[in-house]
Amino acid sequence: MTAQANACIGLGANLGHPEAALRRAVDALAALPDTRLLAVSRFYRTAAWGRTDQPDFINAAALLRTGLAPQALLAQLLEIERQAGRQRDGDAASTRWGPRVLDLDLLLYGGQVVDEPGLRVPHPCLHERAFALLPLAEIAPAEPFPGHGSVADALRGVDTEGVLALDDA
């Protein structure tokens, strides 16, 4: 039997129909092998981060219980992105923080620290990104966040102004 772990996934999109893309991504997460979708946050609108010359993002978070190892889960996330039309051309400088049809990030995995080629968990910038922490705290405030206590602890350290739940907007 495969060991199970909680995994926190950040979802974001700002091209095409972002809300529909996030809903399809949630369905795809729920269909992953050896994985159960435990919770999904509300959707949030956030101004673009890093590169501000693009449309606002729609962001959300999902909490999974999975038997997939971190690298295997990442491979599944990348495949969901690819099926949504995301193309990773390998030119990180031109696409970093750029617009996307879908972005899925493995934010946290079972309280573990993972530092491998192509995968760092906790996500290296999570502790400074309100657009990821706010939806995550809605569904998993007590989830362990190595180096920061819990998700709720980390959220207290960021300014959440400008991260608006769509049903509040």
SS3 for the chain is: CCCCEEEEEEEEECCCCHHHHHHHHHHHHHCCCCEEEEEECCCEEECCCCCCCCCCEEEEEEEEEECCCHHHHHHHHHHHHHHCCCCCCCCHHHHCCCCCCCEEEEEEECCCCEEECCEEECCCCHHHCHHHHHHHHHHCCCCEECCCEEHHHHHCCCCCCCCEECCCC
Domain count, the chain: 1
Give the length of the chain.
169
Instruction: Print pLDDT tens along the chain (169 aa).
Output: 568 999 999 999 999 999 999 999 999 999 999 999 999 999 999 988 667 778 899 999 999 999 999 999 999 999 999 988 767 655 343 455 567 889 999 999 999 999 999 999 999 999 999 999 999 999 999 999 999 999 999 999 999 999 999 985 4
pLDDT at res. 106: 97
pLDDT at res. 86: 67
Backbone angles phi, psi at 37, to 5 degrees: -80, 115
* Selected catalytic residue, list 103, 115, 153, 167: 103
* Selected catalytic residue, list 65, 86, 88, 156: 86
Alpha-carbon 48 to chain mean position = 15
pLDDT at res. 138: 97
User: What is the domain extent for residue 42?
Assistant: 5-165
pLDDT at res. 53: 75
pLDDT at res. 99: 74
Q: What is the pTM of this model?
A: 0.91
**Burial (Cβ within 10 Å: 0-12, 13-18, ≥19) of residue 25:** buried
* Selected catalytic residue, list 100, 153, 156, 167: 100
* Selected catalytic residue, list 24, 34, 105, 129: 105
| Known active-site residue 105 | yes
| Known active-site residue 86 | yes
Distance from C-alpha of 80 to C-alpha of 155, rounded to nearest angstrom: 28
Q: What is the CATH number of the domain that holds 54?
A: 3.30.70.560
pLDDT at res. 56: 92
CA angle (142 as vertex; 62, 97 as ends), nearest 5: 45
Backbone angles phi, psi at 96, to 5 degrees: -60, 125
